[in-house]
Amino acid sequence: MHTKTIKQLAEGLRAGTFSSVELTQHFLTRIEKFHALNAFITVTQEHALTAAKQADKRLAEGNAPLLTGIPFAHKDIFCTHGIKTSCGSKMLDNFIAPYNATVVDKLHHAGAVMLGKLNMDEFAMGSSNENSFYGAAHNPWHENVVPGGSSGGSAAAVAAGLAVCATGTDTGGSIRQPAAFCGITGLKPSYGRVSRYGMIAYASSLDQGGPMARSAEDAAILLQAMAGFDEKDSTSINEPVPDYSRHLTESLQGLKIGLPKEFFQHGLNNQIAQDIDNALNEYRKLGATIIELSMPTLTMAIPAYYVLASAECSSNLSRYDGVRFGHRCEHPADLTDLYLRSRAEGFGSEVKRRILMGTYALSAGYYDAYYLKAQKIRRLISDDFQHALTQVDVIMSPVTPSHAFTLGEKTADPVHMYLEDLYTIAINLAGLPAMSIPIGLSADTPEAPKLPVGLQLIGAYFSEAKLLNIAHAYQQVTNWHQLIPTGFE
C-alpha cells in the first residue's frame, strides 16, 4: 500500500479494498518499524486514527474529496492546534500551537489524515537536516547519507513510504534539494500561491510552502488542496487556483526549454550533467526544443540570499525572548539575563550565526553596503528571469551540484554548506515556481552508494500547472520516480 499513488489509494478506499483506518495503521506501523530514519519529530497516532475513522465515514457518505483518508505528514514548521510544533528547535520544544496554519486547516478539511510532524533543520536553516535539535533524519537510499534540508524529514518519509505525501517549505531550496536527494517530486510554488499563515517564519519574503510527493500527479493533488488566497496572509495572492490535475496530460509539442549556461559550468558533478542530458533527450522526443540562455546575475544569488535571509531571520526570530512562548532559562537574575540566556540556550549554532550576520547587515553603518546592495541584486536576478522567460516556456537546470553527501561531511564549513543552494536560491529571490523531479541514480560502486539525481524545472509566475504538466509528461515515459530504496519496498 505504501508504494501506491494518491489516486490508486483513493480508488482502493472507494472500492472498499481497505479502509482509511487500515491504511493509516499500515503507515503508523511502518513509521515505528523505520524509526531509525528519524523522519518524524512527533507521531500523532491517536489523532491520525480518529481522523481516519472520520474519513471512512465521509467516504461511506460519498462525494468525499480525493485526499479523504490519505495518510500524510506536515513539516514541523506548520502550526498544528494542540500539537507540539517545534520547528526543529529546542526553543520551541515545549511549544503547543494554539491554532492551525491555514495549510493545516485546508488539508484537514480535504479529509487528509495527518500522521505527525516531520523532522527539519532548525527554523528551516540548513541543507542537510543536520541542524535539527532532534538529530538529522537519514536518507532512505543510504543510512550514512543526508536526506537534504531543510525539509529532510518530509523527503525521507515520502521516499521510505512512511507517508503518502508531505508538506514542505522552501526559502532557498528546502523542498527541491531534499526531493532531489531522496528521489521524490517536490514543488515550490510561486511566492504568494500558498498561505504562510501559521507557517513559522524564517525569511518572510522568500518562504513558501509546497507539496512533496512520489509523482507530479500526486504533487498536483496535494498542491490543489494547499493553494489559494488567504486574507490572513497579507502576501497571499488573490488569483484563481487552476485545476492542476486537468492540465497534466497536455502535449509538450513545441515546448521551448531554456538552459542557463551559468548553471552548467564548473562545479557540476559529471554524472549529474550526463543524467540531465539524458532527461533533455526525453524532452526532445516529447517535442521540445532546447535553447541556451545566458543569465549572468545568477552567480550573485548566493551572497545576496545569505544577506537577505539572515537579515529577515534576525528580525523574525527576535520574538523568541523567553517571555511569551518557547524556551525560558531557569532562575533569571533580571530581564536582560532572561533574554540573553533563554536565547543562548534555545537556539542552535547555525541559527545564532544567521542572527548575527543579519543583525550586522541591518545595522546603521552597514545597511547600504550589504542589505540594500543585496536588494538591488535581487531585482537584477528577478529581471534576468523575467527576460529569460519571455524567450522560453520553462528553464531547466540541476537541483544540486552533487549527489546527497555523507552525514558530517559539510558541517564544519558553513560556506561549503551554503554552496549546496547554488541552483535553487535564485528562484526564491525571484519568487518563481520551480520543481524537482527524479531523473537518475548514481552508479553503485564500493566507494559510493546508489543515490538519486534531480532535475529542476523553473517557470513563470503562477505557471505551476505548466510545470506539473512538463514533469508528468516525463514521468509517463520514464520510471525514476517509481524506484524504491532497498529495504523499503
- 255: β partners: none
Nearer to ligand GLN, 147 or 172 (CB): 172
* Of positions 56, 122, 421, 464, contacts ligand GLN by CB under 6 A: 421
Identify whether the C-beta of residue 401 lies closer than 8 Å to the C-beta of residue 420: yes
Query: Applying CB under 6 A, does 124 fall inside the site for ligand GLN?
Result: yes
Output Rg (C-alpha) for the chain, integer angstroms. 21
Q: Which of 20, 154, 174, 190 is catalytic?
A: 174
Crossing angle, helix 6-15 and helix 20-33, to 10 degrees? Answer: 130
Q: Is 75 a known active-site residue?
A: yes
In the complex with ligand GLN, the residue whose CB is nearer, 288 or 309, is 309
Residue 174 sits in the site that holds ligand GLN (CB under 6 A) = yes
The reply to whether omega before 402 is within 30° of 0 (cis) is no
> CB of 432: closest distance to ligand GLN in angstroms?
14
Taking the complex as a whole, how short is the minimal distance between the CB of residue 203 and ligand GLN, in angstroms? 8
Task: Please give the grid coordinates belonging to residue 143.
Answer: 543510512
Phi, psi of 162 (to 5 degrees): -100, -10
Only segment of 28-36, 167-175, 212-220, 455-463 that touches ligand GLN (CB under 6 A)? 167-175
Asked if residue 173 binds ligand GLN (CB under 6 A), the reply is yes
**Contact stretch for ligand GLN (CB under 6 A) within 23-31, 122-130, 244-252, 262-270:** 122-130
Bridge partners, 73 (sequence order): 166
- Site for ligand GLN, residues 176 to 205, rule: CB under 6 A: 202
The active-site residue out of 86, 150, 314, 463 is 150
**Rounded-to-integer distance, Cα 480 and Cα 488, Å:** 16
Helical spans, DSSP H, in 168-227: 176-182, 216-226
C-alpha separations of 102 from 47, 142, 203 in Å: 18, 35, 18
Instruction: Return the half-sphere exposure (C-beta side, CA atoms, 13 A cut-off) of residue 388.
Output: 30
Per-position DSSP letters for 3-40, written without gaps between them? TS-HHHHHHHHHHTSS-HHHHHHHHHHHHHHTGGG--E
Q: Is 119 in the site for ligand GLN (CB under 6 A)?
A: no
When the beta carbons of 333 and 356 are compared against ligand GLN, the nearer one is: 356
Is 150 considered catalytic here? yes
Residues that contact ligand GLN, how many (by CB under 6 A): 13
Binding mask 377-396 for ligand GLN (x = CB under 6 A): --------------------
Strands (E), 214-336: 256-260, 289-293
Query: Binding residue for ligand GLN (CB under 6 A) from 56, 76, 170, 384?
Result: 170
Q: Does 431 bind ligand GLN (CB under 6 A)?
A: no
Which residue's CB is nearer to ligand GLN, number 14 or number 353? 353
What phi and psi values does residue 42 have, to the nearest 5 degrees? -135, 130
Q: Determine, following the binding rule CB under 6 A, whether residue 209 of this chain makes contact with ligand GLN.
A: no
Q: What residues line the site for ligand GLN (CB under 6 A)?
A: 124-127, 150, 170-174, 202, 309, 421
The residues annotated as belonging to the active site are 75, 150, 174
